[in-house]
Structure 1
Amino acid sequence: MNMPVHHAPGKSSQKMSRTQINILVIVTLAWIFDAFDYLMLTYIAVDIMKEFDVTAAVFGTVTSITVLARLIGGALVGTVADKWGRRIPLIVSMIWYGIFQFVSGFSPTFTFLYAVRFLFGLGMGSMYSVGVPLLMESVPPNKRGLASGLLEIGFPAGGILASLLYLGIYSTGSWREMFYIAAVPPILLGIYTMLTLKETKNWIKQETEQHGIDKVPLVNLFVGKQFWNTIHSILVNAGFLVLFYSICSWYPTFLKVEHHFTVTMISIVTILLNLSAVIGSIIFGYFSDRIGRRWTITISALGSMIGAPLFVMLHNNILLYIGAIIVGFFGPGGVWSINATYTAEHFPIRMRSAGHGLTYNAGNFFGGMLTPVIIGLLSGTYGFGTVMTVGVLSSAAFLILMTWIWKETKDMDMSL
């Protein structure tokens, strides 16, 4: 499956301009606020299940329907962004998911919550499918890995915000108030983006040369040489997402149900995990521009495999804390540090948003939609810890395999 890569021109000492830094800040904050809401749901899952009288397996379908919506939103809005530019779809997606975060707090029934989370997912999938190509087309080639690592701190940073909110108000508030608070930042960020962000030069150049990009429909992602790029990107993203959801989707519930942790203890452990993930994402993102995407994924996946049993299966609290730090550093940190750039590097500019939106969210559909449900179903028989560990080990091994049957992409020219 190894295919030629167009190498990016320019010097390795290129620095980021003020405009490029602004784009990095906008997209990273959008991902942080996105993750803030998405991961917040894991903290309040038990109480929502109690209020609406649903099982863990049924509640897991809320995550699954959100993932399905992300696939639909990412593919459709990604196609729109390839035709008419990245800026407007990015702004709309942030305001959209902020609105439905707020509405989630008013849910009178589980069915209503289910429907609103689907609508939220449309905006969440759209944001990532547009924001990542926008960022990767803007930053210097020698900074793409670092930019990806900084962007991917979004999920652990969002997890930290969710932990702090859970610790700060949940004992005196309710799960509904957490949704209300989470809704404000993305709406404000959408307004700021509207005032400060311009369309990317690479997209404008491509649009001018091609006289519009509507000549490339979504189906062309599966035509000719692009077919294997698309399939590989789906498979790799499925591996990324199985690993992520095996670690994060039920972890607060696991600590509460199997270890009987208090709100404070749950917050401390998850903050440790997410802080180590932030550090890991920056470090591995930086070094991926030097050692390449293959070795970055391989080293971090191996680290996840080593730390996984310590992460969930031992009942010694100190070892549990250490395991959370190790797996956070290598899993949501190291493995995820290059997801953004590695996926974007699979596609030419004329179909990059559509390709990124479809393949990331298709991988998320298989990895993210099924994993929480499977863990929820099997937890009653085998326990959360065992099922989560198996998920980490299998997905990490799969990622190593998929990385080494593919080309190294760190020097790809993103202007083509």
Structure 2
Amino acid sequence: MAASIASDAKSAWHARLSHHIVTRLSSLKPPSNVRFENPFRVLGQLNKKQWLFFLVAFAGWTWDAFDFFTVSLTASDIAESLDRTLTDITWGITIVLMLRSVGAIVFGLLSDKYGRKWPFIWNCVLFVIFEMGSGFVRTYKQFLAVRALFGIAMGGIYGNCAATALEDCPLAARGIISGMLQEGYALGYLLAVIFNRALTTTTSHGWRSLFWFGAGPPVLIIVFRMCLPETETYMAQKNMERVSHKASFIRMAKASFKSHWHIMIYLVVIMAGFSFMAHGSQDLYPTMLEVQLEFGANRRTVTMCVASLGGIAGGMLFGHMSDFIGRRLTIIVACTLGGALIYPWAFVRNGGIMAAVFFLQFMVQGAWGVIPIYLSELSPPALRAFIVGLAYQLGNLASSASSTIEATIGMRFPLETLADATIERYDYAKVMASFMGCVFGFVLIVSFLGPENRSADLSVGYPLESQRDEEDDDDVEKNPPDDAEKNTPAQHQGTCVA
């Protein structure tokens, strides 16, 4: 009996996998009754509490991005101050990306177990401490140590922010809210560019002033979050745990791992591609403008601001589009158009560079705008903050050496060093263009082959396995279901059936 059930389950799994593969193209077709909704009318569906949840999540994610980009924007200054090479300083970026997965595990589990509120607050407290400490480092070892600790703090915020902003969000507004939330990343980049120009070159402490300033706004975000309650979805989950021992957090977590392990692997793979896309197009770009194109501080600032504005616009538009044409198709369109823009983005040297950086980031962040809701819909409710955050940060881990790879390969293409230059010049544009071409292609292919769960219920009613007692698993052999398909993972959230 047991062998027969196992054989039937294996056959059913193979059938679902075959069906998934042959339907990848047809599943991209939008529903025949789809129509584009006015985004302002869609946003009007959010009530006051839902807006506040979005705003505090957006603020936390924005400042996470600001803190991250303080290093990439001041890398040359830090290298000169600490008497190290630019490649050495990019390891400060790499080590942050490498350790963010630790923070995602710790704060993700805390958020799913104890709520969205207090883990978020303590996460922001660490932001204050480590950003302030970054401004006081005097040696390269101190710099790496502080940034390593900061990486853990940064890793904990994304999953919590996505859950806070999206799990109570009206269905019709998910796409645009996802895009708006994700573009906290681009806004953080924009703010970092602006304040870098305002503080780094105009104050006696230089780049250190930018880090000290960065420690202030998280205090306001902490106060904001303290004034808000837990999300209604999380409170419903806690209520379910109180009324039924079968719905305990441990049981639901175990069931989620059992039924979603293949989805977790897929999410890490696709997030690795997305992280390479973001960091490959942004981390070293300011250095390229300064060192290779010899842009002055003002022109460099304007260029990066234009890029960030393009990203913000793209994230909101493509995020909203994904509610109508689908999450995967939106990503594929953004990657295709982004690939077509690589050449002007990397090699235009006249005024057209502004349009190139605007539209390249429009496509990069357009694809990214789908990610918060795409990950949330594929994740089990009991571990939403954990899985969303961990997939995101493991993707960052895989791409952690992006800027170091580009900087190192760039050294193979030296350019003529000017007489008054203090840093050697390399052809970073050639390396970045090749790098981004590969990344866009990878993300497009993985998205095409991947699953989608658009409009999935983000409530706490499943996975179905979490409703069972442990003894019930033993009874399956004795009383097999009449219809095995009813109890297969194909009916649950986040399966490989599009």
Query: Is TM more than 0.5 here?
Result: yes
Of 165, 170, 193, the match for 2:225: 193
Quote how far apart the aligned CAs of 1:221 are. 6.0
Identity %: 26
Calculate the TM-score normalised by the size of structure 2: 0.78
Pick the structure with greater CA Rg.
Answer: 2
Quote how far apart the aligned CAs of 1:45 are. 0.4
Of 271, 281, 284, the match for 1:250: 284
Of 401, 406, 412, the match for 1:370: 401
Contact kept, 8 Å, 1:296 with 1:335, in 2: the verdict is yes
Listed one character per residue, the Cα deviations across residues 178-209 of structure 1 (whole Å, up to 9, x for unaligned) are 001111111211122112x2111212222222
CA distance in 1, matches of 2:331, 2:164: 23
Moved more, 229-238 or 110-119: 110-119
Establish whether residue 307 from structure 1 lines up as the match of residue 341 from structure 2.
Answer: yes
Of 1, 10, 17, the match for 2:47: 17
CA distance in 2, matches of 1:28, 1:390: 33
Quote how far apart the aligned CAs of 1:255 are. 0.6
Contact kept, 8 Å, 2:79 with 2:86, in 1: the verdict is yes
Of 277, 295, 316, the match for 2:311: 277
Of 34, 37, 43, the match for 2:67: 37
CA distance in 2, matches of 1:65, 1:407: 31
Quote how far apart the aligned CAs of 1:222 are. 4.9
Contact kept, 8 Å, 1:310 with 1:323, in 2: the verdict is yes
Amino acid at match of 2:52: N
Match of 1:325 in 2: 358
Match of 1:239 in 2: 273
> Following superposition of structure 1 onto structure 2, how do residues 47-126 of structure 1 map, counting pairs within 5 Å?
47-126=77-156
CA distance in 2, matches of 1:345, 1:115: 36
Quote how far apart the aligned CAs of 1:210 are. 3.4
Residues 179 and 220 of structure 1: CA distance in aligned 2, closer, same or farther (over 3 Å): farther
Listed one character per residue, the Cα deviations across residues 47-81 of structure 1 (whole Å, up to 9, x for unaligned) are 10111122232222111111122110011210111
Quote how far apart the aligned CAs of 1:409 are. 2.1
Quote how far apart the aligned CAs of 1:324 are. 0.5
CA distance in 2, matches of 1:79, 1:163: 33
Quote how far apart the aligned CAs of 1:286 are. 1.3
CA distance in 1, matches of 2:84, 2:168: 46
Contact kept, 8 Å, 1:203 with 1:349, in 2: the verdict is no
CA distance in 1, matches of 2:337, 2:139: 42
Match of 2:214 in 1: 182
CA distance in 2, matches of 1:51, 1:370: 23
CA distance in 2, matches of 1:317, 1:49: 29
Match of 1:140 in 2: 170
Of 300, 304, 323, the match for 1:266: 300
Establish whether residue 293 from structure 1 lines up as the match of residue 315 from structure 2.
Answer: no
CA distance in 2, matches of 1:407, 1:171: 48
SS of residue paired to 1:318: coil
Listed one character per residue, the Cα deviations across residues 263-297 of structure 1 (whole Å, up to 9, x for unaligned) are 11110110010011111111111111111101110
> Following superposition of structure 1 onto structure 2, how do residues 325-344 of structure 1 map, counting pairs within 5 Å?
325-331=358-364, 333-344=365-376
CA distance in 2, matches of 1:181, 1:99: 12
CA distance in 1, matches of 2:452, 2:391: 18
SS of residue paired to 1:15: coil
CA distance in 2, matches of 1:384, 1:311: 12
Listed one character per residue, the Cα deviations across residues 134-161 of structure 1 (whole Å, up to 9, x for unaligned) are 2221111221111111111111111111
Structure of greater relative contact order (alpha carbons < 8 Å, 6+ residues apart): 1
5+ residue gaps in structure 2? 1-16, 24-36, 243-247, 414-426, 461-498
Contact kept, 8 Å, 1:304 with 1:392, in 2: the verdict is no
Number of equivalences: 404
Amino acid at match of 2:174: R
Contact kept, 8 Å, 1:229 with 1:346, in 2: the verdict is yes
Listed one character per residue, the Cα deviations across residues 377-405 of structure 1 (whole Å, up to 9, x for unaligned) are 11111431122112221111111111121
Contact kept, 8 Å, 1:49 with 1:55, in 2: the verdict is yes
Establish whether residue 206 from structure 1 lines up as the match of residue 259 from structure 2.
Answer: no
Amino acid at match of 1:60: T
Quote how far apart the aligned CAs of 1:169 are. 2.6
Contact kept, 8 Å, 1:36 with 1:161, in 2: the verdict is yes
Of 251, 258, 261, the match for 1:215: 251
Match of 1:400 in 2: 444
Quote how far apart the aligned CAs of 1:220 are. 6.4
CA distance in 1, matches of 2:155, 2:371: 15
Calculate the TM-score normalised by the size of structure 1: 0.93
CA distance in 2, matches of 1:48, 1:135: 35
Contact kept, 8 Å, 1:100 with 1:119, in 2: the verdict is yes
